[in-house]
């Protein structure tokens, strides 16, 4: 009997790890195994000192078609599993967004439903110009609940209002115009564009990148007119500036050399 391939493949290029969705026969629809593997991988790699950045990619002709409907129906038929599944999906999207390492999404083909949540939770989204996006949950009587905080943040409230309600398909060009996609490129230059982004991340201080991710999350929820907000941010700068990584970075700049984290 042929051993079934894992739902997520992991490969490493120095300090950059690529996680590849690997159910191409069903357009990488997310099942229980894929979700659990992704949760475990982002948690582990987020704490791994030898990992500097993570790329989320996919095999086959699609990035991801969303949740496997067979899996979703199975969950819906069991009250306990149904409730737990929702919490598990929340852990997945939060695990990507809150991972201390920068996460780059390499998006091609179609990116539907929960897959739109996956890329919205990533820090940087690089998409091929032929990608189509959709949030079609409403067409089968569902709602994009667990992905909504990340998608709304990525595309904005007004756009989310439209696409959540209509379930329309929209293009990579539209996603780029909305700000959900950062880099848009032709299909044959997708890998080169991702590589250029990764090469840039290799030059950045790992702890500083983690701090920046946390900073964006915090400031987006703060009252920017409050004195306490600015006092907190001043204290945060002082803490980071007095750290060993900042000392190394500033010294390297003054000595006109590469900092130690650059290979």
Query: What are the residues facing 110 on neighbouring strands?
Result: 132
Residue with structure tokens 């003054």? 254
Which of 168, 185, 202 marks a domain boundary? 202
Number of domains in the chain: 2
CB 112 within 8 A of CB 65: yes
CB 191 within 8 A of CB 128: no
Two structure tokens written together for 151:
């998608």
Which residue, 202, 229, 246, sits at the end of a domain?
Answer: 202
As a whole-number percent, the residues of the chain with pLDDT over 90 amount to 86
Question: Do 75 and 57 belong to one domain?
Answer: yes
In this structure, what token pair is assigned to residue 97? 């967004």
Q: What is the spatial distance between Cα 119 and Cα 63, in angstroms, rounded to a whole number?
A: 10
Q: Which domain holds residue 165?
A: 8-202
Q: Which stretch of DSSP H or E encloses residue 20? A: strand 16-21
From CA 60, how far away is CA 56, in angstroms rounded?
14
Residues 46 and 28 in one domain: yes
pLDDT tens digits for 78-117? 666 666 777 888 999 999 999 999 999 999 999 999 999 9
Q: Is the dihedral of CA 108, 99, 21, 114 positive or negative?
A: negative
Question: What's residue 81's pLDDT?
Answer: 64
Domain assignment present for residue 261? The answer is: no
Higher pLDDT, residue 165 or 88? 165
Contact (Cβ atoms closer than 8 angstroms) between residue 92 and residue 35: yes
Residue 194 tokens, joined: 């991702």
| pLDDT level of residue 1 (50, 70, 90 thresholds) | very low
User: Are 29 and 65 within 8 A, CB to CB?
Assistant: yes
CATH code at position 174: 3.90.226.10
Instruction: Say if residue 138 is in the same domain as residue 247.
Output: no
What pLDDT is recorded for position 76? 64
Query: Quick one: pLDDT at residue 79?
Result: 61
- Mean pLDDT, to the nearest integer, of 155-177? 96
Q: How far is CA 26 from the centre of its chain?
A: 21
Res 172 pLDDT > 80: yes
pLDDT of residue 4: 80
Is the pLDDT at 2 greater than 60? The verdict is: no
Please state, in angstroms and rounded to a whole number, the distance separating the CA atoms of residues 260 and 152. Answer: 38
**Stretch 68-73: mean pLDDT, rounded?**
73
Q: Please report whether residue 58 resides in a domain.
A: yes
**Co-location of 197 and 222 in the same domain:** no
pLDDT at 223 over 70: yes
108 shares its domain with 233: no
- Residue with the bigger pLDDT between 81 and 171: it is 171
* Arithmetic mean of pLDDT, 231-252: 93
What angle, rounded to 10 degrees, do the helices at 79-97 and 32-46 form?
40
Q: Which of the four pLDDT bands, split at 50, 70 and 90, describes residue 70? A: confident
pLDDT value at 220 more than 60: yes
Q: Is 161 found in the same domain as 238?
A: no
User: What tokens appear for 106 in the block?
Assistant: 């390499």
**67-76, 149-158, 233-242: least confident range:** 67-76
């Amino acid at each position: 009997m042929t051993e079934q391939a894992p739902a997520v493949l992991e490969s490493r290029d120095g300090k950059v790890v690529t996680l590849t969705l690997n159910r191409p026969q069903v357009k990488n629809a997310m099942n229980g195994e894929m979700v659990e593997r992704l949760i475990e991988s982002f948690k582990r790699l987020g704490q791994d000192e030898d990992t500097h950045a993570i790329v989320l990619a996919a095999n086959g002709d699609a990035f991801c078609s969303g949740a496997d409907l067979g899996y979703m129906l199975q969950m819906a038929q069991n009250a306990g599993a149904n409730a737990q599944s929702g919490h598990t999906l929340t852990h997945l999207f939060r695990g990507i967004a809150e991972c201390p390492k920068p996460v780059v999404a390499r998006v091609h083909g179609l990116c539907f439903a929960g897959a739109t949540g996956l890329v919205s939770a990533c820090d940087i989204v690089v998409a091929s110009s032929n990608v189509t996006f959709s949030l079609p949950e409403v067409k089968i009587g569902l709602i994009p609940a667990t992905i909504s905080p990340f998608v709304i943040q990525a595309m904005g409230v007004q756009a989310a209002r439209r696409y959540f309600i209509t379930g329309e398909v929209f293009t990579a060009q539209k996603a780029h115009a909305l700000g959900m996609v950062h880099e848009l490129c032709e299909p044959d230059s997708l890998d080169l564009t991702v590589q250029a982004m990764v090469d840039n991340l290799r030059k950045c201080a790992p702890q500083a990148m983690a701090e920046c991710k946390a900073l964006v999350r915090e400031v987006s929820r703060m009252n920017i007119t409050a004195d306490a907000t600015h006092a907190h941010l001043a204290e945060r700068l002082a803490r980071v500036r007095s750290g060993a990584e900042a000392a190394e970075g500033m010294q390297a700049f003054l000595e006109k050399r590469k900092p130690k984290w650059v290979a």
